[in-house]
Each structure stands twice: as C-alpha cells, then as structure tokens.
C-alpha cells in the first residue's frame, strides 16, 4: 500500500489552520462565512486533482465524482468542514510531534496544559507515531479535518491511478455538522449513491452503526421587568425562574457528566438573557425513542411546574428533532457495514462496533434513505485544547477508504 503519511500531515495542517467554526445562532447554510473559505479550497483542490462534476451547492456542500472503472454500487465518502463552536478555533497553530516518545506533551501557548498518557491511555498505543496537536489556546479541528484529509488523499490517489478497479465514488464535504445542520434534505438526491460512509470517528478500528437519537429544546422565560427600586411585589425575575428550571432537572442521574454507555442525558448548553427574558437551550439524547420522548416529557413537566409557581411569568418549552439513531435503518440493511468489515479484515484491523454517544451526518443521511455508517479517523479529545490525532491512524483510515472501494468492485 502506498504511504500517505506526508500528504495527510500536510493536508491536516493546512485545513486546521483555517477557522471554520459553525454557529447555531446564525441562519443560512453554511452558518458562518468562514466555512466558505475551506469549502472553496476543497473545490479548488478537487478540480486541480481532476475530479469530475465538482460543485458547491447552494446549501454549502461540496460534491464531486471519482469516475468508476468497473461496475458496482455507487459509494459516498463524506467528511464535514466545520469545527465545534464550544471552544476557541481562531488562530489554530497545528504542531506535528514526530515519533512520539510516550511522555507528556506540553503546549507552548499554555504552559499549564499537559497531555499525558496517564489521562489518555490511547496515547500509549501510539508510541512512535506522528502526533498532531494545537498550541494550547485553541482546539485542533481534527474533528473533522482529519476526515477531510483522509477523503481528499484517497480521492487524489484514485484519480491518479485509473488502473485501480473501483465503482463510481462520490465525495462530499458538508458544513454545519457540529450544530446538527450538516445534511440538507436535498443532499441524498444530489449525492446519488447507493450507500455512504462518514469519516468522523475516533479510535483505530471504529465501525459505528449505532448513535444517539437527538432532540433540541429551547426554553423561553418571560418575566416582568420594572425598576428594582420599586420592584416589591411587581418584579418577576426571569433569571431566577430559569435557574430554578435548570436546578429542578436531574443533576445526579441525567447529565453528560453522570452518564455513560447506553444512558441518555439532558444537557444545558447555554443560557442567555436578562431579568426580563431568558432563553435556555438544551440538548436531549438517548439511544431509544421512548427514552428520548421521556426526557422531552420531563422537560415540559419541569417547565410547567416552575410556571405554576409564578403565574405572572410566561414559560414556553419548544422541542425539535435533530437526528435519529442510524441503527433503526441499518439493522434492516447491513450491507455497507458488512462491506466495511471485510475491508477491515483485508487490512488486518479488528473492527470495534460500539454505540457512540453522539451523532454524525450519517445519522441524518441514513434516516433520509442513504445507509451511512461512520468510520474512524484517529481523532481524540475533540472539542477542546487537548485534541490530538495520530497521522498513522489517519493513514490506516485512508487505506480503509481505498479498500472499501476495491471490495465494492470485487462484489460487482
């Protein structure tokens, strides 16, 4: 197999240096102008490498074709270009640590920050690998620019080697995945594939076909505003009521920091406003729909209970769907999972199929009729300053991408 290490390293650093955070408070697709910079770069690079049908849709997704050389199913390979809004992503300075020696990794821009194998046991499996981190003040953005680099490297290799047997392949790069808006309803039609894979997973060997189901809740608390000097028996402080709602929800059994495995949660993601009006946003997660619906019912019950204590206030709770557990559809069509497993076997990698406590663009695509499991990239500690990735893990993911295409051609 061709070595892809240097290309992956170069692409990852180049992509990570570009600020491409999404923003749930902004409409449009993509939600932020900065995402256009990296999307336009992808268009330019795909065009230069000779991909066909390169287009950036009006909903901000870049799609292109790698022409097939034999019969077989049309396959999609996807990654998302945006980075998480939870932590600073402006001014990312990626660092490549060649031949990691197994010790603690320090950060030049934050001397108090340390990445250690004691806190990150997966690091011990990567001794000798090339590790990429940020500099301490930002996230890295390997989620999902590692996936971008993998798909682009595989695309370049296939286009430069037309003798490699493969069916038609479509690659796609989506915006706004981190805020749950990565898959436009038109994408399945425009992508035009029989099935697809997202490269948006973590540990070497991850083959994910079970994710959370997700809803988004917005609680609006409207109080009564008046000058505090004359507020007795008149003021209704929306901040106090919002705090009561958050405090009444379960803290010990149903938050992200108290749950794991198949346990779902209710997570307050932000609170904004004043004494007059507060808006509190929550994400609701569960692997099963009855569990998700129960969490929504609990949210509404708590809001109604707090509203009953202060009839002068107006409290609303709006819950909207985000994505659903891809298992509901994939368990009826495991062909893309089985194909990936065969490719893992060819590479001597043991697949790890564990439920992930999150979702991907594949969750929504699968729901819309495009079976789309999620595959590893190697990224770790995502959404924070200790984020890192092994270039060698990315290299294995690139080989997996190519092996899936080869396997699909053989099955034709």
Q: Where would I find the beta strands (DSSP E) of 185-232? A: 195-201, 207-208, 213-222
Give dist(CA 198, CA 362) in Å, integer. 6
Say if residue 178 carries a ligand binding annotation.
Answer: yes
Do the beta carbons of residue 336 and residue 369 sit within 8 Å? no
Give the active site residue among 82, 286, 395, 406: 82
How many Cα atoms are found within 13 Å in the side-chain-facing hemisphere of 368? 20
Determine the pLDDT at residue 1: 47
**Cis peptide bond N-terminal to 144, omega within 30:** yes
Say if residue 200 carries a ligand binding annotation.
Answer: yes
What is the number of other CB atoms lying within 10 angstroms of the CB of residue 184?
Answer: 20
Q: Where are the domains of the chain?
A: 5-211+325-410, 213-322
The single-letter DSSP state of residue 14 is H
- What token pair was written down for 176? 């706004």
Do the beta carbons of residue 216 and residue 393 sit within 8 Å? no
pTM: 0.93
- Residue with structure tokens 């993601």? 269
Q: Where does 5-211+325-410 sit in CATH, by number?
A: 3.40.630.10
Active site residue 82: yes
Determine the pLDDT at residue 2: 60
Give dist(CA 118, CA 104) in Å, integer. 9
Give dist(CA 82, CA 410) in Å, integer. 34
Q: pLDDT tens per residue, the chain (412 residues)?
A: 468 999 999 999 999 999 999 998 999 999 999 999 999 999 999 999 999 999 999 999 999 999 999 999 999 999 999 999 989 999 999 999 999 999 999 999 999 999 999 999 999 999 999 999 999 999 999 999 999 999 999 999 999 999 999 999 999 999 999 999 999 999 999 999 999 999 999 999 999 999 999 999 999 999 999 999 999 999 999 999 999 999 999 988 999 999 999 999 999 999 999 999 999 999 999 999 999 999 999 999 999 999 999 999 999 999 999 999 999 999 999 999 999 999 999 999 999 998 999 999 999 999 999 999 999 999 999 999 999 999 999 999 999 999 999 999 977 5
- Residue with structure tokens 């190697």? 378
In the chain, the largest separation of any two C-alpha atoms, in whole Å, equals 82
Domain topology for 213-322: Alpha-Beta Plaits (3.30.70)
pLDDT digits 0-9 by tens, 178-237: 999 999 999 999 999 999 999 999 999 999 999 999 999 999 999 999 999 999 999 999
Q: Would you say how long the chain is, in residues? A: 412
Give the active site residue among 7, 177, 215, 387: 177
Q: Distance of CA 331 to CAs 78, 287, 336, 337, Å?
A: 21, 14, 11, 10
Give dist(CA 151, CA 79) in Å, integer. 7
Give dist(CA 200, CA 147) in Å, integer. 6
Determine the pLDDT at residue 361: 95
Active site residue 7: no
Give the H or E element holding residue 339: helix 335-347
């Amino acid at each position: 197999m061709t070595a892809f290490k240097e290309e992956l390293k170069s692409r990852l650093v180049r992509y990570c240096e570009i600020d491409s955070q999404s923003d749930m408070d902004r409409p449009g697709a993509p939600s932020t102008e900065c995402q256009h910079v990296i999307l336009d770069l992808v268009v330019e690079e795909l065009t230069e490498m000779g991909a066909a049908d390169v287009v950036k849709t009006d909903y901000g997704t870049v799609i292109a074709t790698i022409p097939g050389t034999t019969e077989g199913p049309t396959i999609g390979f996807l990654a998302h270009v945006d980075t998480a809004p939870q932590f600073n992503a402006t001014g990312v300075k990626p660092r490549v640590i060649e031949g990691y020696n197994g010790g603690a990794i320090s950060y030049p821009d934050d001397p108090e920050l340390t990445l250690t194998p004691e806190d990150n046991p997966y690091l011990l499996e990567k001794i000798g690998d090339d590790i990429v981190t940020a500099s301490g003040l930002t996230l890295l953005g390997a989620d999902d620019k590692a996936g971008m680099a993998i798909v682009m490297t595989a695309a370049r290799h296939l286009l430069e080697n037309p003798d490699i047997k493969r069916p038609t392949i479509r690659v796609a790069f989506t915006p706004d995945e981190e805020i749950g808006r990565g898959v436009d309803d038109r994408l399945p039609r425009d992508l035009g594939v029989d099935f697809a894979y997202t490269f948006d997973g973590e540990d070497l060997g991850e083959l994910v076909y079970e994710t959370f189901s997700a809803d988004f809740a917005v609680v609006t608390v409207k109080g009564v505003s008046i000058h505090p000097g004359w507020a007795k028996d008149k003021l209704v402080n929306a901040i106090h009521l919002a705090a009561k709602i958050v405090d009444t929800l379960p803290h010990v059994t149903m938050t992200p920091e108290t749950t794991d495995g198949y346990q779902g949660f209710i997570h307050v993601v932000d609170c904004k406003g004043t004494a007059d009006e507060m808006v509190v946003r929550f994400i609701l997660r569960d692997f099963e729909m009855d569990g998700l619906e129960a969490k929504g019912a609990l949210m509404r019950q708590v809001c109604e209970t707090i509203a009953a204590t202060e009839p002068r206030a107006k409290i609303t709770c709006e819950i909207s769907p985000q994505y659903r557990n891809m298992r509901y559809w994939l368990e009826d069509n495991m062909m893309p999972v089985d194909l990936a497993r065969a490719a893992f076997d060819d590479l001597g990698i043991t697949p790890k199929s564990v439920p992930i406590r999150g979702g991907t663009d594949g969750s929504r695509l699968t729901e819309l009729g495009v079976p789309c499991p999620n595959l590893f990239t190697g990224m770790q500690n995502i959404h924070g300053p200790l984020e890192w990735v092994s270039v060698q893990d990315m290299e294995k993911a690139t080989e997996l991408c190519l092996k899936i295409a080869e396997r699909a051609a053989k099955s034709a």
